[in-house]
Every structure is written in structure tokens, then in C-alpha cells.
């Protein structure tokens, strides 16, 4: 009971961070050039995936592979070991010798398929001139980001043990903030007029104002 109460309190305390990061996210996007062909292709890819998701299929197996691989990588980063690794059409499971917030929740906010795609193009570009495929890359980045978001929502609706153990409400809020942060970081690598540092600074400024307004209201 005590643990559940702590998780609820953490979730409530985290709400201002959700508000601040959301406002900062859209403020940062204001700097985008709406006439950019890269933005057009990125948005086109992003909104193409939901059609694929609804009309054709939900590629759970592909998502599960990436999801469990991130669990593995996060475990190694934190100094743990993986004792079992299983993937099926209905999902996957990884057993590790260590667990923490990062290990449990990282697959829900690390778009591993997008990262793999970008790394693949970067490695190939070291050996071949692939500038002619820049448009395809932009479209696929948008498509895979959307795939990550929609499939993450799908698995979160199943109340995964990782999320329940951390606290469902807190996990949802944390994953939301982490996802928009990672998405903006990805966009900052593509568009020169988007600054991830500016997003972080803006988030802290807005968050400070929210807390000041709250304390002023309480002290009145």
C-alpha cells in the first residue's frame, strides 16, 4: 500500500514536467521551415504508418525484437547480464540479473528501429555515395518513428509487467516525456534550425514558472 502511494505521488509530481516538456516541444518546432522537402517527407512517412497499422497489420514480431534488444542493451549498459532471451509472434521476454527504471522502461522510449535505420545509412555512406536516397531516408525515419509510437501504445494497453511494476501512471508520464525528448533529439540531427539544447532550456524555464506559480498560489 505504501509503495503504491509513493508511485501515485511521484506521478503527480511529474505532471508539471509533462506540461513543460510539451510546451517546449511545440515551441521548438516553431523554428521549422514548413516548406522544407525533408519535413514534408518526414511527416508523410509519419502519417503513412497509421494507415499501414490499421489497414494491413500490426508488426508485433518486428517490434518485439527491437523491444527486447533494447532491454538487453540497457542491461549491459547498467552492468547486468542477460540469462534468457525469447521472442514470439505475441511478444517477447528477457530475463536479466539486474533491473532498474532505465532497464524496464527504455524500450518504450528508445526508437531502436529508427536508430538502426539511421546507423545503417550512415555506415553505407562511409563506402558509397547514397545522397540519391536522402528522400527515402527522410520518409523511412518518419515511418519508423510512427511505428515506434503506435506499437508502444499497443503494448502499453496490455499493462506490461515492466510498466505495472514501476507504477502505471508514472510510467506512462515518464515514457511520454522521454519519447518527445528523443523525437526532438532525432529531429535536431536532421534539421539545423531545431536545437535539442534549446528544448531542454525551454523545458526548465517553463517548469520553473509552473512551480513558482504553484508556490505563489499556495502561499497566498
pLDDT classification of 22: cutoffs 50, 70, 90: very high
Query: What's the pLDDT score for residue 3?
Result: 60
pLDDT tens by residue, 89-117: 767 788 888 888 888 899 999 999 999 99
Tell me what pLDDT residue 2 has. 44
Q: Which pLDDT does position 131 carry in this prediction?
A: 80
Q: What pTM was estimated for this model as a whole?
A: 0.85
pLDDT of residue 66: 92
At residue 206, does pLDDT exceed 90?
Answer: yes
Q: What average pLDDT does range 159-180 have in this prediction?
A: 85
SS (H, E, C) the chain: CHHHHHHHHHHHHHHHHHHHHHHHHHHHHCCCCCCCHHHHHHHHHHHHHHHHHHHHCCCHHHHHHHHHHHHHHHHHHCCCCEEEEEEECCEEEEEECCCCHHHHHHHHHCCHHHHHHHHHHHHHHCCCCCHHHHHHHHHHHHHHHHHHHHHHHHHHCCCCHHHHHHCHHHHHHHHHHHHHHHHHHHHHHHCCCCCHHHHHHHHHHHHHHHHHHHHHHHHC
Amino acid at each position: 500500500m505504501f509503495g503504491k502511494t509513493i508511485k501515485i505521488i511521484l506521478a503527480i509530481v511529474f505532471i508539471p514536467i509533462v506540461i513543460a516538456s510539451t510546451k517546449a516541444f511545440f515551441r521548438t518546432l516553431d523554428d521549422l521551415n514548413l516548406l522544407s522537402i525533408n519535413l514534408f517527407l518526414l511527416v508523410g512517412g509519419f502519417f503513412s504508418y497509421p494507415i499501414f497499422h490499421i489497414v494491413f497489420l500490426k508488426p508485433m514480431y518486428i517490434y518485439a525484437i527491437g523491444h527486447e534488444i533494447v532491454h538487453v542493451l540497457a542491461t549491459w549498459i547498467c552492468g547486468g547480464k542477460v540469462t534468457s532471451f525469447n521472442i514470439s509472434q505475441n511478444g517477447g521476454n528477457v530475463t536479466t540479473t539486474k533491473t532498474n527504471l532505465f532497464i524496464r522502461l527504455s524500450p518504450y522510449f528508445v526508437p531502436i528501429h529508427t536508430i538502426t535505420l539511421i546507423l545503417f545509412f550512415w555506415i553505407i555512406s562511409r563506402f558509397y555515395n547514397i545522397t540519391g536516397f536522402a528522400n527515402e531516408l527522410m520518409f523511412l525515419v518518419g515511418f519508423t518513428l510512427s511505428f515506434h509510437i503506435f506499437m508502444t501504445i499497443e503494448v502499453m494497453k496490455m499493462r506490461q509487467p515492466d510498466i505495472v511494476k514501476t507504477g502505471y501512471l508514472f510510467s506512462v508520464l515518464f515514457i511520454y516525456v522521454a519519447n518527445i525528448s528523443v523525437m526532438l533529439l532525432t529531429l535536431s540531427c536532421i534539421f539545423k534550425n531545431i536545437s535539442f539544447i534549446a528544448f531542454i532550456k525551454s523545458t526548465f524555464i517553463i517548469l520553473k514558472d509552473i512551480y513558482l506559480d504553484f508556490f505563489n498560489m499556495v502561499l497566498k
